[in-house]
């Protein structure tokens, strides 16, 4: 009866495995699955599910989502809300409103073509735009929090459409309220970014600087930065279509100075980056590689030879396989360096 009630309202699929919905190609079934291409469709789906006592999960491209073998016993809504428009121009910058279902890299490409800076280093990151604020995506010296003005969202708690400012989002390193205190409450429908009409200037992130030096590039355009990032990422990260993965599976770890100094005493070549007065960021890929795990096959998950942050699903058949590999990596790094690394993708 419940299934009939939902199916009678919208085009809803049933029992779709998350192996078809995530780039890691693992996870049990989604009890119900629907797509929302407008804000009203999303709200109607959410309200109907709530009326029928069903849990709701919003997903985009599935590139930052790990699903357990039991799947999701509720309604999964794929956010496909489109949109890209300039809503303000002050001469030096433009404020852009972007539908949450827009492909993120296409948005970056379009902004570069428009001569707008601020997100060019976030090129080639998979997923949809509405997912960008959730984990505060970042790469090569930029993160979405640098340009975000506000997000528009459906608040399932109050059953209203709301605007959440930059301050409301509670951004920190690869984190926001959307994966913290308010996880599951808001369904982002659009993001608003302020981008600037200026060319990039050095110094650039180290990997980009190296790329420019090797190719003797001195004309620092937005397109040049975007091309550099795409080339670097292509060389470091496996294509999820050919090699199922979730991109960077582990966050770069942020530690206190005394912890970093303890590692430096044994490993003086350890790379690190200042975060604030008391904390340093250490590349987790370096920790995993130095722990002699790079390239290893653990429980069907291969630690990528090009980037030890990446786990490739080579032969894993269950979430249990992935969890066992993850836990073994975390344990090995902790035993060697006395620090605990963390998973980056969301998990349900």
Catalytic positions are 174, 248, 344
- Which residues, listed in sequence order, are joined to residue 160 by a DSSP beta bridge? 155
Q: Say which residues have a Cβ less than 8 Å from residue 274's Cβ, sequence separation at least 6.
A: 280, 281
Distance from C-alpha of 322 to C-alpha of 26, rounded to nearest angstrom:
9
How many other C-beta atoms are found inside a 10 Å radius of the C-beta of residue 4? 7
Q: Say which residues have a Cβ less than 8 Å from residue 191's Cβ, sequence separation at least 6.
A: 97, 98, 100, 129, 130, 132, 133, 144, 148, 151, 152
How many other C-beta atoms are found inside a 10 Å radius of the C-beta of residue 251? 18
Query: Whose structure tokens read 């951004």?
Result: 171
């Amino acid at each position: 009866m419940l299934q009939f009630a939902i199916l009678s309202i919208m085009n809803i699929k049933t029992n779709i495995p998350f192996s078809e919905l995530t780039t890691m190609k693992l996870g049990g079934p989604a009890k119900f699955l629907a797509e929302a291409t407008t804000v009203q469709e999303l709200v109607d789906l959410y309200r109907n599910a709530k009326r029928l006592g069903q849990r709701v999960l919003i997903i985009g491209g599935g590139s930052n989502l790990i699903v357990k073998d039991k799947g999701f016993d509720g309604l999964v809504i794929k956010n496909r809300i489109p949109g890209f428009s300039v809503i303000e121009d002050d001469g030096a910058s433009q404020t852009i409103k972007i539908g949450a279902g827009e492909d993120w890299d296409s948005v970056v490409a379009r902004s570069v073509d428009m001569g707008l800076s601020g997100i060019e280093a976030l090129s080639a990151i998979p997923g949809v735009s509405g997912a960008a604020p959730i984990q505060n995506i970042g790469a090569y010296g930029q993160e979405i929090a640098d340009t975000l003005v506000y997000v528009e969202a459906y608040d399932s708690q109050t059953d209203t459409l709301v605007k959440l400012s930059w301050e409301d989002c509670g951004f920190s390193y690869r984190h926001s309220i959307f994966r913290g205190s308010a996880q599951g409450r808001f369904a982002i429908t659009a993001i608003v970014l302020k981008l600037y009409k200026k060319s990039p200037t050095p110094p650039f992130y180290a990997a980009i600087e190296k790329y420019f030096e090797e190719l003797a590039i001195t004309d620092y355009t937005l397109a040049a930065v975007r091309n550099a990032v795409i080339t670097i990422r292509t060389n470091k990260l496996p294509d999820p279509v050919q090699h199922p993965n979730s991109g960077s599976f582990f966050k770069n770890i942020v530690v206190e100075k005394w912890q970093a100094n303890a590692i430096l005493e044994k490993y003086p070549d350890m790379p690190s980056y200042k975060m604030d007065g008391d904390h340093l960021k250490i590349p987790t890929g370096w920790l995993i590689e130095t722990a002699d795990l790079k390239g290893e096959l653990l429980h069907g998950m291969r630690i990528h030879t090009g980037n030890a942050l990446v786990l490739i699903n080579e032969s894993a058949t269950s979430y249990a396989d992935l969890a066992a590999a993850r836990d073994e990596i975390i344990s090995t790094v902790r035993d060697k360096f006395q620090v605990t690394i963390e998973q980056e993708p969301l998990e349900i």
